[in-house]
Amino acid sequence: MGSPDGLTRRCAAADEGDPTPCEGPLAAVVIVTGDGTQITGCVQHSARQLASMKGARLHPMAALLPWALDVYCRAAELPPFPWQIGL
Ligand SMILES: [Zn+2]
């Protein structure tokens, strides 16, 4: 992940088409997708993937972290694939 120049290094949850920068730690939470794949991401991009991927949820361990609620609240307010409509 990230470009060679290091200027746009982002977390693993950042979608290629999503231009927004990371927020908080790059490994804030772990998302578990519908097929069981685990993706570690920042608060911003984890919320966006959570809103976009069918069946995705936070890893149970994430519930112990202070930003888990923040991720859920953000995801609840986002449409799927928000970067496609400029959000
Ligand atoms: Zn990110």
CA 40–ligand 1 middle distance (angstroms)? 9
Tokens (6 digits) for 32: 């578990």
The confidence score (pLDDT) of residue 75 equals 96
Stated as kind and residue range, the H or E segment containing 58 is: strand 57-58
Distance of CA 56 to the CA centre of its chain: 11
The confidence score (pLDDT) of residue 20 equals 95
CA 44–ligand 1 middle distance (angstroms)? 6
pLDDT tens by residue, 15-62: 999 999 999 999 999 999 999 999 999 999 999 999 999 999 999 888
Most confident among 1-5, 8-12, 78-82 (mean pLDDT): 78-82
CA 11–ligand 1 middle distance (angstroms)? 4
pLDDT tens by residue, 57-86: 999 888 788 899 999 999 999 999 999 999
CA 16–ligand 1 middle distance (angstroms)? 11
Q: Which residues, 6 or more positions from 38, have their beta carbon under 8 angstroms from its beta carbon?
A: 30, 31, 32, 59
